[in-house]
């Protein structure tokens, strides 16, 4: 295949690719030659368009295909071609770390039926063993009835099995004094603070600036992000301990993103911007318009 043919195939998608070099979109093993590897990458980009352009993070796992923040959502993210997964970590009454978004268990589990007398059913009021009894999948679909709220250790293990990268959010840190140290300890025990994970597979973020600063102080080598859009004049102070500013799409414009990009973060590199609430179907156009480095979809 000459370069002109290859560029045409990449631009126009799988139909031309098949015409030029054969059935490259079937998911079969990739050829070992440079052209074969390049062809495979184009084929993957046709099947998974979020593999090209900015970093695309599966919000709470592939939460359109499986119940959010479950191991099934991690599996679905891997099947759909995502490389990055975002999750939310909170703490139980007995100091264990679990992956769940809301401060209460009512929306995504059957906690009201299992523990009817325990209103308002806050995560922090239940032990890890009690939370493990809950059904965290039926609300999404009957086929997910066996899904449970995973512990952080279980979640990390499944992420490793799929060689996925993690954007870990410390949720409601003000409710859990010392949670940062417990998360760091868990990451270390699971092997997520080695060179490979720290350099390419892990970012820790939070809406709590103090929480992010604490993580940076405990493990300065770990990349961190602040969830929100600090005022422009405050950005230099954030840059001392974060590598990313991660705002909601509706709260920023291209000028704000450009201002963030002018600063270097905690590890000496240009600050990145990962926006959330970005629709997957138009993420490439939105990222280009705003200048985002990543989108959480």
Catalytic residues: 59, 101
Angle, helix 3-12 to helix 34-47, in steps of 10 degrees: 10
Distance CA 42, CA 4 (A): 14
Strands 272-276 and 244-246: parallel
Distance CA 227, CA 45 (A): 29
Please identify which residue in the block is written with the tokens 């004094």: 177
Nearest partner of 69 among 140, 117, 119, 160, judged by Cα: 140
Nearest partner of 67 among 11, 146, 6, judged by Cα: 146
Distance CA 73, CA 159 (A): 11
173: CB partners within 8 A, 6+ apart: 179, 180, 206, 208, 210, 211
**Cα 259 to the chain's mean position, in Å?**
24
């Amino acid at each position: 295949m000459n370069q002109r043919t290859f560029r045409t195939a990449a631009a126009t998608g799988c139909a031309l690719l098949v015409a030029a070099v054969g059935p490259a979109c079937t998911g079969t093993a990739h050829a070992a030659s440079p052209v074969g590897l390049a062809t495979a990458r184009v084929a993957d980009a046709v099947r998974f368009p979020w593999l090209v352009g900015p970093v695309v993070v599966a919000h709470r796992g592939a939460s359109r295909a499986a119940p959010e923040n479950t191991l099934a959502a991690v599996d679905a993210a891997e099947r759909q071609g995502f490389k990055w997964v975002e999750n939310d970590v909170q703490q139980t009454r007995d100091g264990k770390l679990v992956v769940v978004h809301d401060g209460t268990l009512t929306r995504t589990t059957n906690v009201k039926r299992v523990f009817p007398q325990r209103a308002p059913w806050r995560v922090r009021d239940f032990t890890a063993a009690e939370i493990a009894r809950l059904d965290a999948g039926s609300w999404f679909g009957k086929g997910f009835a066996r899904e449970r709220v995973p512990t952080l250790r279980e979640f990390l293990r499944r992420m490793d099995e799929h060689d996925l990268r993690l954007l870990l959010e410390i949720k409601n840190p003000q409710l859990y004094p010392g949670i940062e140290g417990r998360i760091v300890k868990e990451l270390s025990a699971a092997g997520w603070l080695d060179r490979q994970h720290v350099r390419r597979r892990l970012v820790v973020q939070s809406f709590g600036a103090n929480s992010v600063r604490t993580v940076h102080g405990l493990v300065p080598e770990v990349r961190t992000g602040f969830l929100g859009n600090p005022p422009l004049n405050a950005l230099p102070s954030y840059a001392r301990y974060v590598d990313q500013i991660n705002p909601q799409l509706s709260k920023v414009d291209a000028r704000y993103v450009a201002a963030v990009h002018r600063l270097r973060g905690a590890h000496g590199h240009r600050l990145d911007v990962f926006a959330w609430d970005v629709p997957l179907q138009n993420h490439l156009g939105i990222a280009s318009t705003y200048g985002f480095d990543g989108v959480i979809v």
